[in-house]
Amino acid sequence: MARPHFPRRSVGAVAILVPDYQEAIEYFVGTLGFTLVEDTRLSEEKRWVLVSPGSGTSLLLAKAKGERQRAAIGNQSGGRVFLFLTTDDFWRDYRTYMSRGVEFQEAPRHEEYGMVAVFADRYGNRWDLIERHAR
């Protein structure tokens, strides 16, 4: 039986709930060093705001609307690590983030797959900062 052919695909963006667009842009660009890719006004209250760490999937900063969404800010994954930020130089980024007040929730550790430490962003979402070992 022939397998269906699918075109090449990728996840272009992941939405992350934030309380305020400008505050979130300042954090992701100013503190984490992401690039502001796009900031387009869609309506009086809604914008299409994309930030990127440099390559790969972008984050869509989605302003929370209503109590249910506001309650999910910082807890979109139920307390698990939500996002994985890979780097080519763990110690450079770790030290830079520490100097900018990023809250690491553990000491850096060596794992089979690489060097890693968990940090929480301004809103409480948990991230892995990872430098993967070459395979």
- Helix, strand, coil share (%) of the chain residues, nearest 5: 20, 35, 40
Full residue range of the structural domain in which residue 114 is found:
76-135
In this structure, which amino acid lies at residue 99? S
Task: Assess if residue 123 is contained within a domain.
Answer: yes
pLDDT at 18: 98
58 in the same domain as 23: yes
Task: Assess if residue 5 is contained within a domain.
Answer: no
115 in the same domain as 97: yes
Q: What is the DSSP letter of 45?
A: S
pLDDT at 30: 97
The residue whose two tokens read 């690039």 is 35
**Helical spans, DSSP H, in 1-135:** 21-25, 66-72, 90-99
Give me the residues of the chain with pLDDT under 50, please: none
pLDDT at 1: 67
CATH classification at residue 50: 3.10.180.10
Report angle CA 52, 58, 62 to the nearest 5 degrees. 105
Total number of residues shown for the chain: 135
- Give CA–CA dist 42/80, Å, rounded: 32
64 in the same domain as 81: no
89 in the same domain as 133: yes
Q: What is the DSSP letter of 31?
A: I
pLDDT at 5: 74
pLDDT at 63: 98
Question: Given 22, 39, 73, which residue is the final one in a domain?
Answer: 73
Number of compact structural domains in the chain: 2
pLDDT at 133: 87
82 in the same domain as 33: no
69 in the same domain as 16: yes
Q: Is 114 exposed, middle or buried (0-12, 13-18, 19+ CB in 10 A)?
A: middle
End-to-end CA distance of the chain: 34
48 in the same domain as 31: yes
Question: Given 58, 73, 88, which residue is the final one in a domain?
Answer: 73
Task: Assess if residue 40 is contained within a domain.
Answer: yes
132 in the same domain as 82: yes
